[in-house]
Copies of this chain bind each other. A is one copy, B any other.
Amino acid sequence: ITMPKDTVVKPVNVTCTAPVNIAVVKYWGKRNEGLILPINSSLSVTLHQDQLKTTTTVASCRSFQEDRIWLNGKEEDINHPRLQSCLREIRRLARKRRNDGDSSVDVGCLSHKVHICSVNNFPTAAGLASSAAGFACLVYTLAKVYGVDGELSGIARQGSGSACRSMYGGFVQWIMGEREDGKDSVAQQVEPESHWPDLRVLVLVVSIAERKPVGSTAGMQTSVETSSLLKHRAESVVPDRMKQMIEAVHKKDFATFAELTMRDSNQFHATCLDTFPPIFYLNTVSRHVISLVHQYNRHYGEARVAYTFDAGPNAVIYTLQQHVAEFLQVVRLVFPPDNNNGKTFLTGLQVEPVEISEELKNAICLEPMPKGISYIISTQAGPGPRVLEDPGQHLLGPDGLPKPDA
């Protein structure tokens, strides 16, 4: 009996999306480089995928000769150790479950090679946590292909530490864990995305690249080796701060959430400066944003806006819906956008312009920096990874290769 040819070679396609997350208690420093086990727990907000997401299609087919991957339109080396970690771990899990008699595992698939195609709907090299969304999406999609589910953040963690937090929506903690094998170093949802509907997030993409930054993997390794302040932070500061932050999120206590967020961002950058040689991720524009936020909050006598910076100069602002429009006007005042992109300066959730008072204008005593910020993405907390059911959205064609626009 000869099987019809099309059923034999047609790949099984699964397409998923996954979100970016921005930490408010930062992860910096590994206790185990291979397994990506952190020296402290961390906590983040998952951003909405309407604004920032990775989309990944995984195709599995008997006829594929080898595993292959395309990222943002370019084929990349599938042998990258972290990619291999994720592939190996998901396949191991699938095999284990099949051997345990789980009928949901796709048995045929297990022996097939996969083609992976992944794209971001936001600039990749702009320091916007694309590896977190990317590895979360990869692991989530592979898991769907192989029919495995359950706790997957521990696998995403092995692709990129912070990717584990992108496996859930809303407010997510990555519990550092204690075990040497890392099995207890996993992400956990603290509150779902619906918990704090007023919370807004503005991503201020800084235009000036002052100097080549140190990559976060190399940077955190040097910090662990040389900064005594980082060790103190991990052991003595973060445990309490995690408790306070989780409490602030539960209570939707913005003032506490904001102050802890800013203090934690500053402390992370302080440990970078205490690294030898020192690492600088904040640039002139970043420091200007910091001043702006403190002047704004001081004017109102309360923390209405909070900044946080990852391993790059871009600012992420947390605020509440009722303050977004005014704060955006203040940002436009201090960072006048280019005439040509005045209309595209703000993307994402739209915000109606408002007038700002003379008192507020006078309270902000900062030299304007024209074009210091190139654009702003306005968003909110959002859900975790999702399966796209519409086959039209697959990034790989019936031939198992990226579609022309993927």
- Which residues of A does B touch, CB under 8 Å? 210-211, 226, 228-229, 232-233, 236-237, 259, 262-263, 266-267, 269-271, 273-278, 280, 284, 287, 290-291, 294
Decide if B229 touches A291 in the complex (CB within 8 Å).
no
Decide if B274 touches A280 in the complex (CB within 8 Å).
no
List 10 contacting pairs A-B, 8 Å CB cutoff, sorted by A.
A211-B291, A229-B229, A232-B232, A259-B276, A262-B276, A263-B274, A270-B273, A270-B274, A273-B273, A277-B294
A226 to B287, CA, bound (A): 19
Copy count, this protein chain: 2
Decide if A284 touches B233 in the complex (CB within 8 Å).
no
A358 to B267, CA, bound (A): 40
Contact partner, A266, options B211, B232, B273, Cβ 8 Å: B273
Residues of B within 8 A of A270 (CB): 229, 270-271, 273-274
- Closest CB of chain B to A314's CB: distance in Å? 17
- Closest CB of chain B to A239's CB: distance in Å? 12
Which 10 A-B pairs rank lowest in CB-CB distance, beginning with the nearest?
A: A270-B270, A270-B274, A270-B273, A232-B232, A277-B294, A266-B278, A229-B229, A267-B274, A263-B276, A228-B237
Decide if B259 touches A266 in the complex (CB within 8 Å).
no
A406 to B255, CA, bound (A): 54
A220 to B336, CA, bound (A): 34
**Contacts A229-B229, A229-B233: A276 and B284 contacting too (C-beta < 8 A)?**
no
